[in-house]
């Protein structure tokens, strides 16, 4: 027996869901996680000596009527090849599969690169909206690659930006990024290779790199700054130094994932900047209990984003729901 399966290319994903809509979807998802309506196992990461990249298996189950009318299973089968940026390809590749939680039938197959870019940025937007000072208007963005564009769009969706500094080791890449992004936005965007000066005038920071060593230093960060660290997703990578981790109030997408997979957390723990008792407030708590967030205008807050499978499943479920309602997009018989 054949089934109709919705298939979404990268272009389909980007056309179907705006950044603001996706931020709202992530807010709804983290609230559902707090209500135990999402089952989120830890991901499985495979690093074979036969390959230069990583394979990730990220499953989740969602049962929340406001997200999808019936229970769904979903999984992202994705790869991370950091070297892809040098050949003009997204480091993240793969597909997201959505399946019925009632019959197990395949419902949808989506391009994973576009889903990952959109939902990762949307979670940054959500965390920034919850944690950055309300009048924050200057962003320093570390990284000038594919994901950095999405991160900029997400922050711009939740704060009225006035100035953006783009920091990259290669100054020409930073300037090229700034020129391209300036065509879309009305605020000033400046490429630089001087992070210290950029951070001195910033109240929002996003790190979107694949660096194995910290890209900033604690003494560069001013009081009241909110930092989102989203570029590293395995213990081998680390964008934030130990003193910054110690100085900040830490927020995470999931504490168990952070303790297992975050290079920033594990390095800071190893070097004595954090202890096993250091509080890690999960984003689901913050969505449902805003009083757990920023407590003063001078507080430094840091959100460590690793990415959770249910975020991919939420996008897949929302696009499939829209497909069923409006008959938009392509379906195939499987």
Q: Give the mean model confidence (pLDDT) for residues 105-130.
A: 96
Contacts of 24 (CB under 8 A, 6+ apart): none
Two structure tokens written together for 186: 């009305």
Model pLDDT for residues 18-73, shown as the tens digit of each residue:
999 999 999 999 999 999 999 999 889 899 999 999 999 999 999 999 999 999 99
With tokens 């096993």, the residue in question is 276
Does residue 329 have a pLDDT over 90?
no
Contacts of 149 (CB under 8 A, 6+ apart): 177, 180, 181
So what's the pLDDT on residue 192? 96
Alpha-carbon distance of 303 to 140, in angstroms, equals: 15
Residue 320 sits at the vertex; the CA angle it makes with 9 and 99, to the nearest 5 degrees, is 100
Structure tokens at 151: 């991160």
d(CA 14, CA 8): 10
Domains of the chain: 4-116+309-333 (3.30.1780.10), 121-304 (3.40.50.720)
Global pTM reads: 0.94
Question: Are the beta carbons of 219 and 250 closer than 8 angstroms?
Answer: no
pLDDT value of position 92: 78
């Amino acid at each position: 027996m054949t089934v109709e399966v919705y298939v979404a290319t990268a272009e389909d994903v980007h056309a179907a869901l705006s950044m603001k809509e996706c931020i709202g979807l992530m807010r709804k998802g983290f609230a559902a996680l707090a209500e135990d309506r999402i089952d989120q196992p830890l991901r499985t990461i495979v690093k074979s000596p036969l390959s230069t990249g990583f394979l990730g298996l990220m499953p989740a189950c969602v049962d929340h009527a406001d997200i999808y009318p019936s229970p769904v299973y979903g999984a992202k089968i994705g790869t991370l090849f950091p070297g892809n940026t040098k050949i003009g390809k997204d480091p993240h590749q793969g597909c997201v599969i959505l399946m019925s939680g009632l019959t197990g039938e395949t419902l949808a197959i989506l391009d994973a690169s576009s889903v990952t870019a959109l939902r990762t940025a949307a979670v940054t937007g959500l965390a920034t909206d919850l944690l950055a000072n309300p009048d924050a208007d200057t962003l320093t963005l570390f990284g000038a690659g594919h994901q950095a564009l999405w991160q900029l769009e997400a922050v711009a969706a939740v704060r009225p930006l006035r100035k953006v500094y783009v920091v990259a080791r290669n100054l020409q890449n930073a300037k090229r990024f700034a020129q391209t992004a300036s065509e879309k936005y009305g605020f000033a965007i400046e490429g630089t290779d001087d992070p210290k000066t950029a951070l001195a005038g910033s109240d929002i920071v996003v790190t979107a790199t694949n660096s194995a060593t910290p890209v900033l230093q604690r003494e560069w960060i001013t009081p009241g700054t909110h930092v989102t660290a989203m570029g590293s997703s395995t213990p081998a990578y680390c964008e934030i130094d130990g003193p910054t981790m110690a100085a900040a109030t830490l927020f995470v997408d999931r504490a168990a994932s952070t303790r297992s997979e975050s290079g920033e957390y594990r390095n800071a723990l190893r070097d004595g900047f954090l202890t096993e008792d250091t509080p890690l407030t999960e984003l689901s708590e913050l969505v449902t209990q805003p009083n757990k967030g920023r407590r003063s205008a001078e507080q430094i807050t840091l959100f460590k984003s690793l990415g959770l499978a249910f975020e991919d499943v939420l996008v897949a479920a929302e696009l499939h729901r829209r497909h069923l309602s409006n008959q938009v997009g392509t379906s195939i018989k499987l």
